[in-house]
Structure formats: structure tokens, C-alpha cells
Amino acid sequence: MSGVYRAYYTDAAKVERMAIERGYSGQEGESWFDYVEADHSRYWTSQTFGDLEKAVKWIGSAVIEGKTCFSGGTILLEEKTHSRCKSCACEGKWTTHEYSVDETGIVDEMELSPPCQEEVE
């Protein structure tokens, strides 16, 4: 199987912009998260890589530059299978690994079960 690495992080600038639009003023005790559900994908910045090392460096750089909300990001390994399965809309692509990344590199790795209930044809 061949795969791609989809790297993403919650973009601090996007979250701040939306929080301000919703009334955030920066007063003492107030947080962006009082106004925004920051883990929603609309606030992510993402990029696709053919190589895990490049994806890790991209997120690490974003953390160092202060672009992330949560001091890290996530990388998903999406692998192409032979064909689409019979029972779902996976399109023959399975996310098989998830990596949590910060400025030091990979801090956690999890192998994911195939999302499909049956093997591909």
C-alpha cells in the first residue's frame, strides 16, 4: 500500500479572528475558548506530505513560530487500499496511523483499526 501523511494543527490566528468576531475583547479572565470551539476542523491549517519526517518538521516549525493553539498538531497516515469496500464510503483509503507532534517531534503514535467492517474486494 502507498500512503500520504496529512498534517494539521489548530491555527491560533484563525481561532483568535473568530473569537474577536464573536465578541472576545481580551479583558482579564477572558479566553478565545469562551467564544470558539477550537478543535473544529474549520480552524485547522493542514498540508499533505509524502514523507513523515517532513510532516513532523512542518508541525514543529509551526509550534516554534507560535502558530498553533495547543502547542502541537496531528499527522494521519492515509493508505490507499486495492479498491473500495462494499459497505461504506471509504473510497479505498484507510487512515492507519495517528501521530501527535510537538516542537520536539513525535510524542505519541497510535495504530488505527481499518474503518471498514469488511475487507476490500
Task: For the chain of 121 residues, list the mean pLDDT of each consecutive stretch of 10.
Answer: 88 94 92 88 94 97 95 92 64 84 96 66 49
The pLDDT assigned to 99 comes to 97
CB-count exposure of residue 100 (10 Å: 0-12, 13-18, 19+): middle
Q: What is the pTM of this model?
A: 0.83
Read off the DSSP letter of residue 112.
P
